[in-house]
Copies of this chain bind each other. A is one copy, B any other.
Amino acid sequence: MASISVPALRDVATRLRIDSVASTSKAGSGHPTTCLSAADIMAAVFFAEMRYDPKNPQNPDNDRFVLSKGHAAPILYAAWAEAGLFPREELLNLRLFESDLEGHPTPRLPFVDVATGSLGQGICAAVGSALNARRTGSPYRTYALLGDGEMAEGSVWEAADSASYHKLDNLCAIVDVNALGQSQPTHLGHDLDRIAARWNAFGWKAIVVDGHDISDLLEGFDMARATSGRPTVLVAKTLKGKGLAAIEGKQAWHGKALKAGDEADEGIAELETALSNKGNAPAIQGPRGTGRVDRAADYNSMPAPAYKLGDLVATREAWGTALANVGRVDSRIVGLDADVKNSTFSDRFQKEFPERFYQMFIAEQVMVGAAMGLAARGAIPFASTFACFLSRAADFIRMAGISTLNIKLTGSHAGVSIGEDGPSQMALEDLALLRTVPNAVVLYPCDAVSTERLVAEMAQHQGMAYMRTSRPKTPVTYGPLDRFPIGGSKVLRESDKDEAMVVGAGVTVFEALKAYEQLKGEGIAIRVVDAYSVQPIDTVTLTTGAEAAKGVVITVEDHYSAGGLGDAVSEALAPAGVTVQRLAIRRIPRSGEPDELIEKFGISARNIVDAVKKSRQR
C-alpha cells in the first residue's frame, strides 16, 4: 500500500463532493449532505482498498460495494465516474427519466447489485454477496456502507448476527456516523464507543476511525483485512455536509439540494479550495484471484416425477424432494432456511448439499436479503419458511422486485388448511403480496407431481418466482408425463354442458373435484380448472372455459379475497366481459381441524356446490 498517496485520495474525496453537490443541484433534489459525510470513506474504499476492474463492474472476482445508505446515490455514481466507467458529465443527468442514474441506486446500472433506498437492506444483501464468495471460492471481499440512522432497523442486526454466525471475514461494513437523521439527531449521536459495543456484542470486530481522515480509514481497512474468523466494521465519525462550513453538522439540510445558481456555485467554489493537486492519481488494483465459474445446468437430464397416482403426499414435502432434485442438476442452487427446515422440508436439500445450505435462523429479513445478494452474484437461491412469515420480509421482496433479481421464495403452511396452530401461522395474504411484484411468477401446485415439475420451472425461470405449498397431504393427481409450464393451467374436468367453471389452486382443487362429483350426481356438470400458475395466469384457457360455462365462473382459494386467485382471474376475464364470484377467506380464522376450517370459512366442496346452484337460479 506504499504507493497510495493520501493527498491524492483527499483530492478524490473533494471531487466526489463537488460532483455530489453539482449533480443534486442540477437535479433540484437529492441528498448532497449525506454524500459529503461519506466522501472520504468513498475515496478510501474505491481508490485504495477495493480491488476490481473498473471497466467491468460485473467481473465475478471484483470486490463488491453495496451502498446500504442508498440515498447517497450521487456519490456512488461520482465514484464510478471517477473510476473511469463513464464520463463525469453524465452525472448531471441525475434523476432524469432518460438516465439510469436514479434517485436511489438500482441494478439498471451495471455496478449496482441490489436496489437500495430502503434502509437496512444493503447490509443483508452484502451478507449474501460474502456467502457467495465462499460458494465460488473467489477471494473477493464485500464492502457495505451504512448510515448511522440506519442502525435502528432490526434487519441490520439480523445481518450482524448472521454474518458473525457464518464467520464472514470477507465482509466489511462501514458506518458513516454523521449523527444526524432525517428529522432529528440520531439518538446515539457521536457516541462511537456505544455503537462499536453493539457490533462487538454481535460478534464483529469493530474499529473506530475518523471518517474524514484518509490515513485513519486506510489503517482501519488494513486491520479489517487482517481479521479472520469474523466480519469487521469501521465505525467512522463524520459530519453531515462536511466541506461546506455553512451546512456542516446542521440538521435542516437532510435531503436538500443546494439551489442551482449562486448557492451551488459558491458551495462548489468552497469545496474546490480543498484541492491540493498533489500526489499521483490512485491506481485501482484488479481482483486478487479467480473463483470457480458457474456452469449452466442441463435440466433435461432430470428424471420424470416418480409418484404414484392417488398416493397422499403434502406439496411441502414434494417441494423438499424436488429442491434436492434440482440441486443435483444445477450447482448454482443454494438453500436458505429460517429454522423451519424440518417443516418446509428444505432439510432434504441440506442433507445432500450441506455446503450450499445457509441457516439464517428466525430472521426472515436477512434470509431474503442474503438471497438477494447471492442471486446478484450468480447463485440461484431458494429461500423458504412458513408463507405467513415471508411477510416479515415484504419490504425486501418489494426491493428484490425493483432489483429484478433471480430469487426463488417458497412459503409453506399456507391457509386455514394448516388447522390447529391458528391464524398467526396461516398465510392468507401471501399471494397478494407476491402478485404485487411486477413480473414475479406465483405458483400454487396442488399435488406432488406438479410441485416437482414447477420447482424445476422456477429454477430455470430468470427472475423472481414464488411457490406456495400446503401442510395437508393431498393425492397425487398428475402423471409423470404431465407438463406444467409457467403461465399454464390444467383443466381437470370438462364437458360440453358445463354450467359453471370452478377455478381452484392448491388444496381447493380437491374441494372443487369433490363438488364436481356431488353435482354430477345431481346431473349438473361443472368445469374444474387447476390454476397452478396464479401469476401469470392462463388467460386463454380461462377465457375458453368461461365461454363454455356460459360465463359462470367461481374461484375458490385458501387465501383472503383481496389480491389473490380471485383477483387474478377477475382481471384476466374482464376483457371477455366475464365476472367472477370469489369463494375466499373473509374473516380472521381461528384454530380448528383443517376440514372444519375449510368448511366454516367458506371454501369447501359444499360451499362450491351452493355457489354453483345459486348461480343457476339467477
Contacts and interface: CB of A to CB of B under 8 A. Distances in A.
A503 interface: no
A560 B436 contact: yes
A252 to B, nearest CB: 9
Interface string A200-223: 111100000000000000000000
Interface in A1-57: 27-30
Contact of A436 (B106, B365, B562, B580): B562
A154 B158 contact: yes
A402 to B, nearest CB: 5
A343 to B, nearest CB: 7
B106 A590 contact: yes
Contacts of A570: 567, 570-571, 574, 579-580
A43 to B, nearest CB: 25
A389 B585 CA distance: 27
B340 A70 contact: no
A342 B392 contact: no
A508 interface: no
A574 B563 contact: no
Interface string A113-150: 00111111000000000000000000000000000011
Contacts of A30: 420
A284 interface: no
Contacts of A593: 97
A153 B153 contact: no
Interface stretch (A263-271, A314-322, A355-363): A355-363
A596 interface: yes
Copies per complex of this chain: 2
A568 B582 CA distance: 12
Contacts of A422: 95, 102-104, 106, 117
A95 B118 CA distance: 39
Interface stretch (A177-185, A478-486, A490-498): A177-185
A161 interface: yes
Interface stretch (A323-331, A426-434, A449-457): A426-434
A399 interface: yes
A82 interface: no
A187 interface: yes
Contact of A579 (B99, B149, B578): B578
A592 interface: yes
A425 interface: yes
B566 A561 contact: no
Given A29-B420, A596-B97, A398 B402 contact: no
Given A29-B421, A154-B154, A181 B391 contact: no
A550 interface: no
B152 A154 contact: no
A511 to B, nearest CB: 18
A125 to B, nearest CB: 13
B152 A363 contact: yes
Given A118-B424, A201-B200, A428-B436, A395 B391 contact: yes
Contacts of A586: 438
A341 interface: yes
A158 B153 contact: yes
Contacts of A432: 432-433, 435-436, 562-563
Contacts of A388: 118, 395, 398
A464 B150 CA distance: 28
B573 A579 contact: yes
A581 to B, nearest CB: 6
A96 interface: yes
A558 interface: no
A102, A149, A425 interface centre (most CB from chain B within 10 Å):
A102
Nearest to A252: B342
A389 B149 CA distance: 15
Contact of A562 (B29, B149, B203, B435): B435
A587 to B, nearest CB: 5
Interface string A141-178: 00000000110111111100100010000000000000
A156 B154 contact: yes
B339 A184 contact: yes
B337 A183 contact: yes
A343, A562, A573, A574 interface centre (most CB from chain B within 10 Å):
A562
A156 B339 CA distance: 17
Given A362-B152, A438-B560, A581 B588 contact: no
Contacts of A155: 154
B120 A362 contact: yes
Contacts of A581: 574-575
22 contacts: A30-B420, A95-B420, A97-B591, A103-B421, A103-B424, A104-B425, A108-B590, A153-B362, A181-B361, A181-B362, A183-B342, A194-B201, A197-B201, A391-B395, A392-B395, A398-B429, A402-B588, A432-B433, A433-B433, A567-B567, A574-B579, A575-B579
Given A102-B422, A116-B424, A153-B363, 4 more contacts: A103-B422, A117-B424, A186-B361, A535-B562
Interface of A: 27-30, 70, 95-97, 99, 102-104, 106, 108, 115-120, 149-150, 152-158, 161, 165, 181-184, 186-187, 194, 197-198, 200-203, 337, 339-343, 347, 359-363, 365-366, 388-389, 391-392, 394-395, 398-399, 401-402, 404, 420-425, 428-429, 432-433, 435-439, 535, 560-563, 566-568, 570-571, 573-575, 577-582, 585-588, 590-593, 596-597, 600
Closest 4 CB pairs of A and B: A154-B154, A563-B563, A117-B424, A97-B592
